[in-house]
Amino acid sequence: MGDALRIGLVGIGNISRQYLDTLPRLPGVALVAAADLDPARTVPDVRMLRPAELYAADDVDLVLNLTIPQAHAEVALSAIAAGKHVYSEKPLALSTVEGRAVLTAAAEAGVLVGCAPDTVLGTGTQTARHWLDDGAIGTPVAATAFMVTPGHERWHPDPEFYYRPGGGPLFDMGPYYLSSLVTLLGPVRRVAGLASTPRAARVIESGPRAGTEFPVDVRTHVAGVLAHENGAVTTLMMSFDVWAADLPRIEVYGTAGSLSVPDPNDFDGEVRVYRPEDGWTGVPPTAGHRNAGRGTGVADLAAALTTNTEHRANGTLAYHVLDIMESLLRAAETGQTQDIESTTPRPPPVPNPHDR
């Protein structure tokens, strides 16, 4: 294993499969242990521990927190208290209060906090950023971001947590879109929002619990407007209440053209640029990690530790995204625009596409 950052994984759920596929091929990291509250869940050929044992293990440098959102802050704080770096699935925490506690504890302990999504490190968002920064569409004026689906209960066998605090379309999928928007356009300073919950209950449609009804405790349709610090204005819609739509994922509109950004839930995808003289034109990957997968952000954190630089999928960005989401819901509840108290620098770009 050499000088690899030694990873202890906590939470062996659905998303862990994607990390387990990616981690073995990433440089600078090695999975050495795993834990889950359900002893029946294991990782082949990896030492299994109880969560408390994993936090205390001398051969674990970073805790990879893949638990449900309701446990993100608790697990992160336990790991930090044991002197471990932390990389969490999104969102960073259920609230900015919890998120601040995590970042404060990490700063006092001298450890790093990373947080998904790391999809923004792939060739999709990074190529779009390259063309944007290169002036291909002039000065950014506005953007749109749409994520619509009829709901995760159609495919997930245990979807209840998507409909509890920390879930819903905004907290579940918003981090992908907002992290991409901040990477492209920079931080947000003010938001306005409206939200609704058209259905008070949902029914599981797949798996052994198909037919089970459960309550909905979150807003399942959220619309908002984001004012970025650079003057650009984004229109956002996140919904678990739309059966079908012909909407772009993300588009950015500038004084000299437009930019089509691929699905921020993926690492790659075609980037298209519109200029009046050329129309829409697909462009090749010009930045970002090729063949990236979930866990790329962990390797980026490991590299930052060796070079004493800032990792890109970092806690400050994740906290700013959390602040935006919380403020959007507060704007919807109060009917008033909300100033965003936090800010974050745009993460450094990932230049020159290379394999991950």
Residue 184, pLDDT score = 98
Q: Could you report the per-residue pLDDT of 52-73, keeping only the tens digit for each? A: 999 999 999 999 999 999 999 9
Q: What is the mean pLDDT of the chain?
A: 96
What token pair was written down for 181?
A: 């928007």
SS3 of residue 252 by DSSP: strand
Average pLDDT over residues 241-263: 97
Name the percent of the chain lying above pLDDT 70.
99
CA atoms within 13 A on the CB side of 87: 28
What token pair was written down for 134?
A: 């290169």
Asked whether the predicted pLDDT for residue 354 surpasses 90, the reply is: no
CATH code 3.30.360.10 region(s) in the chain? 122-284+320-339
Assess whether the previous peptide bond of 351 is cis (omega < 30° from 0). no
Average pLDDT over residues 248-252: 97
**Helices within the chain (DSSP H only):** 16-22, 51-56, 72-81, 96-109, 123-133, 168-185, 296-307, 315-334
Asked whether the predicted pLDDT for residue 1 surpasses 70, the reply is: no
**Cα(287)–Cα(130) distance, integer angstroms:** 7
State the CATH class of domain 122-284+320-339: alpha beta
R_g of the chain computed on alpha carbons: 20
Q: Is 5-115 a CATH 3.40.50.1390 domain?
A: no
Q: Could you report the per-residue pLDDT of 83-108, keeping only the tens digit for each? A: 999 999 999 999 999 999 999 999 99
pLDDT classification of 2: cutoffs 50, 70, 90 = low
Residue 3, pLDDT score = 87
Asked whether the predicted pLDDT for residue 355 surpasses 80, the reply is: no
Q: Could you report the per-residue pLDDT of 289-319, keeping only the tens digit for each? A: 999 999 999 999 999 999 999 999 999 999 9
First CA to last CA across the chain, in angstroms? 18
Handedness of CA 261, 120, 75, 1 (dihedral sign): positive
CATH code 3.40.50.720 region(s) in the chain? 5-115
Q: Could you report the per-residue pLDDT of 29-57, keeping only the tens digit for each? A: 999 999 999 999 999 999 999 999 999 99
